[in-house]
Structure 1
Amino acid sequence: MNLKLTIKTGSETNSGTDADVSIVIHGSLLKTSEKSLNEHQNRNVFEKDSVDTFLIDTENIGEIEKIEIWHNNKWLGADWLLEHCAIENLDSGKSYFFPINKWIKGNSQYEFEPVNLINYNFEITTGTLPGAGSNSNLFISIIGSKNYTTFFNVKPFLKNKDFITGHTEILTIQNEDVGNIKELKIRTDSSGFNSNLFLARVKIKKENELVGKTFPIFDWIKPDQTYTANFNNVEYSIQISTGDVLEGGTDANVSMIIHGTKGKSDIIKLNELIARNAFEAGKIDHFKIATKDLGEINKINIWHDEKWFGDGWFLNKIIVKNESTKIEAEFPYYSWLDKSENPQSTNIELTRMPVQPRPFYSIAHMLNTPAYVEEALEMGTNAFEFDVMPKLVDKNNFHFDAFHGFRPDVDPDKINLMERSVARTDLKYFLNKLKEFEEKFPKLTLVIYDCKLKEVPKNKLNQCGTQLAKTILENFYNSNTKNRIFSIISIPQKNHVSFLDGFFKEIPADFKNYIGTDLSEENFQTAERVFEKRKEMNFWWGSGIASMVPKPLKSYIPSFLIAAKKRTERGIIKKLYYWTLDDPDSMARMLVTKLDGIVVNDPLKLLRVLQKEEFRHTYRLATRDNNPFSVF
């Protein structure tokens, strides 16, 4: 009777032994004589994690019923971790399997009986991430309702002998029947040059089953770590959209926790699950995870370590999809995770509540004739700016024109701003046409009066303001306070505030809710100090640089981020706007500061930028129902 005996030594530290091991095999008819397994071996046997095979020639002992095994405790540290034994009758082809997983101590004999073996059919899928494959050993333990198997190495059964990135390995392994399969324990070792293995899924089917069980994993299996794959785990697909804005991407390490009605996930280290350079501006990253069933997804915590200086990240949104139910949960953000904006903003909590879009003013620039105004309103803009040029015609009276004065400023798209700059309209006529436009264009919400006061004598500023107020009341408002557009009276500097004193002294209380003011050439701190002392409450602040000058936005963006924070915290200044921009990239860069309006030469450019994914959820054109003198 020819028998092949296979012995697997455990893989724990000091599992092997140098002692002399002996065995007796008991059959239904006879038992073998004592067999010393160390004799006639020209190599070390029973080393840690080794598989040793022995051929035994004996008389017919019948069906194998049990084995006795022991060692003589020779040498220091002789205790031996015996994982399993297998015996194959080479004459009949029948096999017997003995799961053991027990420390064999010296001078004690141990008896073990074989278990019934069944075939397990495996489909092991390696992920598609770069470096996902491995040539190390992979050990699996099957845990079932009745029992569990000891860890067995699946690598010897691979057709390709290695786990190849993106491949599915199909193999069959015999082991004991553990009943209804509940989970898998999986680990690898450091035997190969690439020890880490990224597993996507393991499907296992017992020989007597019609349908197997799939265990989603989507994780790295690393040496010295045991991964538990539970059959009840759920596969989730995740999309993370990074904003298509300048420097919107990040090289920082990003992590997240997903919350649901049934619990929360462990910390998910996203950079380990994405195949390429993650979180690039304008890109969408896709990956999958496997975790317990979280129920209805309702919240996400996400953060990054800002590993490098300036590693802010503009996150558009996150979509989480349960691949079992096909239900998606969308988490919009459309903002920065960036310490320069807010020290706490690199660690945020997202809910499924929709983003409340900020009412926004697309302010067409330097429209000093009714024709230019009508053209911009037909484009769809909801606000415009025109220039008020006072002229002292005698010592007590001012005449007002809508007029800027010559500027050599030509837009790249051939809008001739030089012609626009020299256009002139009598203000009374202009305001009467404005009444018509107010009725004709319901989207028109706000007008900025850019008052050119540098030629007005200081002792005449108050008088000038009073006369402008009278002109506006008589030619535009006409005592009608129903559904009117809002007005901003913009003055250049703090030494012109007596103009505002004269202006608001003339404005009736019913109209003061429609009119605000702005200091356009002072920094935010100065404007706040000036406005804090005034009785009016409707304050805006604008800053920028003429579009004909190269735009050093890097110096303006930080100041607007600071101003936006103070606007929200202090509430003295209600709205922020930038002047003046021509190119869409610059518009996008300023929009991420959460300002309230931008002055543009071509409204269509700005309106197109506002429709980008990064902004159409966070901004909408303001209407007359939106109060421009409250903080959003």
Structure 2
Amino acid sequence: MTSTSVIFAFFIVIVCIHAKQRPFYNIGHMVNSIKQVNEFLDSGCNALETDITFSSEGIALKTYHGKPCDCLRWCGYSEKIEVYLEYTRNLTTPANKMYRSQYAILLLDLKTNLISKQNLNKAGKLFVDLLYKHLFTFGKSESKLKVVIGVQRIIHNDFVVGFYEEMKKRGIEDISNQIGWQVAENVHIQKIAEMWRRIDVVKNIWLSDGITNCLSSLRSWSRTITMIKMRDECNVQSNSFCARKVYAWTFDAKRYLRNSLRLNVDGIITNLPKNLQEVLREDEFKLKYRLANSDDNPWTIFA
């Protein structure tokens, strides 16, 4: 066999291994300041979760979690939301000198419970304006980032409706290809599915299950297992509302990170991404998972 043949055969083996590895998201938890963004990316994250607070009138105020929050974490970091989004855009734009190639997903945990019910629709419209200006640069952005927007409860569906009404009004529905959605509330999964069917226009759906790291060791895995079964058995051709990805939160100890990975989750929210990186390199997982990148499609079900 010639050296060229050996190289080609080796390349084919690598491609086959890569195709069988689940694209995985190491999601940094509660990343609410510019300083934290770089710290978590440097620790191995390819996705970040950020909290956004609102006024009762529906205006996005800042990135901020506040008390209570996870054990052994400082709850008070914050940033102007416009500054945070613009910094994120720079980090995810290949032509920018700040480009971080591994940064693929931003999860926005919207504190929609702070918005009065009558202002949820308006809040969704205003949020389109915020993202369009500061993340998508009026459609001119070359950022490779995908965004997963999370509302807190299924009764906050008017926020999502307002968001899509505003995109349609502006003629910018194409940015929906960069946006996915989830509901943070730990309600029955069928109720979440019914919400998306009622709204009708949302297809890039993620599911998540979990609890604060202070209590995660006590939580049953049953809901996560049900979500994964639904994901794997769903046929996108006949049901466009299939959940594309399922992630677990919030786990820091390696024991529980391993347990999550054994369930075939697509991602884990963690306060200690270095722990997760080390677990992913273990023999049990290193051929099963690979870190997703910005070229992976987060709106597809891995098969």
Q: Same fold (TM over 0.5)?
A: yes
Q: Which residue of 1 is the match for residue 180 of structure 2? A: 516
Matched with 2:62 is 401
Task: Output aligned runs, 1:601-612, within 5 Å.
Answer: 601-612=271-282
Structure with higher strand content: 1
Q: 3-state DSSP class of the match of 1:410? A: coil
Deviations 1:197-244 (A, max 9, x none): xxxxxxxxxxxxxxxxxxxxxxxxxxxxxxxxxxxxxxxxxxxxxxxx
Aligned to 2:116: 457
Check the 8 A contact 1:402/1:424 in 2, yes or no: yes
The SS at the match of 2:113 is: coil
Give aligned pairs, total: 268
Match of 2:126 in 1: 467
1:399 and 1:450, CA in 2 relative to 1: closer, same or farther beyond 3 A? closer
Question: For each residue in 1:559-588, what CA deviation from the matched residue of structure 2 results, as whole angstroms up to 9, or x when unmatched?
Answer: 322221211222411110111111011010
> What is the CA–CA distance in structure 1 between the aligned matches of 2:121 and 2:127, rounded to whole Å?
10
User: Any stretches of 5+ residues in structure 2 without a counterpart?
Assistant: 1-15, 94-98, 237-241
1:380 aligns to what SS in structure 2? coil
CA-CA distance at 1:483 after TM superposition: 4.9
State how far apart, in whole Å, the 1-side matches of 2:147 and 2:204 are.
Answer: 10
State the 1:531 CA deviation: 1.9
Aligned to 2:207: 541
Aligned with 1:551: secondary structure?
helix
TM-score (normalised: structure 1): 0.41
Q: What is the CA–CA distance in structure 1 between the aligned matches of 2:228 and 2:211, rounded to whole Å?
A: 19
Cα-to-partner distance string for 1:3-31 (whole Å, 9 max, x where unaligned): xxxxxxxxxxxxxxxxxxxxxxxxxxxxx
8 Å CA contact 1:360, 1:620 repeated in 2: yes
Question: Which residue is equivalent to 1:574?
Answer: 244
- CA gap 1:433/1:481 in 2 versus in 1, 3 angstroms: closer
User: 2:292 matched to which residue of 1?
Assistant: 622
Confirm or deny: 8 A CA contact 2:135 2:141 kept in the other structure. no
- 1:347 is matched with none
Q: Does 1:430 align with 2:95?
A: no
Does the 8 A contact of 2:52 with 2:60 survive in 1? no
Question: Shift of the alpha carbon at 1:408?
Answer: 5.6
The answer to whether residue 144 in structure 2 is matched with residue 484 in structure 1 is yes
Task: Check conservation: 1:483, 1:624, Cα contact below 8 A.
Answer: no
User: Retained in 2: the 8 A contact 1:469–1:506?
Assistant: yes
Matched to 1:515, the amino acid is: I
8 Å contact kept, 2:85–2:135: yes
- Kindly indicate whether the alpha-carbon contact (under 8 Å) linking 2:207 and 2:227 is maintained by their aligned counterparts in 1: no
Query: Offset of 1:619 from its aligned partner?
Result: 0.8
Choose between structure 1 and 2: higher helix proportion: 2
Q: Which runs of structure 2 are paired with 1:213-612 in the superposition (5 Å)?
A: 354=17, 356-392=20-56, 398-407=59-68, 409-411=70-72, 417=73, 419=74, 421-439=75-93, 440-478=99-137, 479-480=139-140, 482-507=142-167, 508-521=172-185, 522-533=187-198, 534-553=200-219, 555-556=220-221, 558-570=222-234, 571=236, 572-612=242-282
- Give the structure, 1 or 2, with the largest relative contact order (CA under 8 Å, sep 6 or more): 2
Alignment of structure 1 residues 78-117 onto 2, 5 Å = none
Aligned-partner Cα distance in 2 for 1:567–1:441: 30
Q: 1:79-124: CA deviations, max 9, x gaps?
A: xxxxxxxxxxxxxxxxxxxxxxxxxxxxxxxxxxxxxxxxxxxxxx
Q: What is the SS of the residue equivalent to 1:363? A: strand
- Relative to structure 1, the CA distance from residue 427 to residue 483 in structure 2 (aligned partners, 3 Å threshold; closer, same or farther) is closer
Give the Å deviation of 1:529: 2.1
RMSD (Å), alpha carbons: 1.7
> 2:59–2:126: 8 Å Cα contact kept in structure 1?
yes
Name the CA distance, whole Å, in 1 between partners of 2:295 and 2:183.
25
CA shift in 2, pair 1:373/1:491, >3 Å: same
1:301-320 residue CA offsets vs partner (Å, 9 max, x unmatched):
xxxxxxxxxxxxxxxxxxxx
Aligned counterpart, 2:13:
none
The alpha-carbon deviation at position 597 of structure 1 amounts to 0.7
- Specify the structure having the higher radius of gyration (Cα): 1
Shift of 1:523: 3.2
For residues 423 and 503 of structure 1, what CA distance do their matches in structure 2 show? 27
| Paired residues of 1:386 and 1:450 also in contact (CA < 8 A) | yes
- Asked if 2 retains the 8 angstrom alpha-carbon contact of 1:543 and 1:578, the reply is yes
CA distance in 1, matches of 2:178, 2:215: 33
Deviation at 1:620, TM superposition (A): 0.7
**How many Å separate the matches in 2 of 1:505 and 1:628?**
24
Q: In percent, how many aligned pairs have the same letter?
A: 26
Find the aligned partners of 1:629 and 1:408 in 2 and give their Cα distance.
29
Please list every run of 5 or more consecutive structure 1 residues that lacks an aligned counterpart in the other structure: 1-352, 412-416
SS in 2 for 1:503: helix
Alignment partners' CA distance in 2, 1:505 and 1:611: 44
Q: Distance in 2 between matches of 1:520 and 1:597?
A: 15
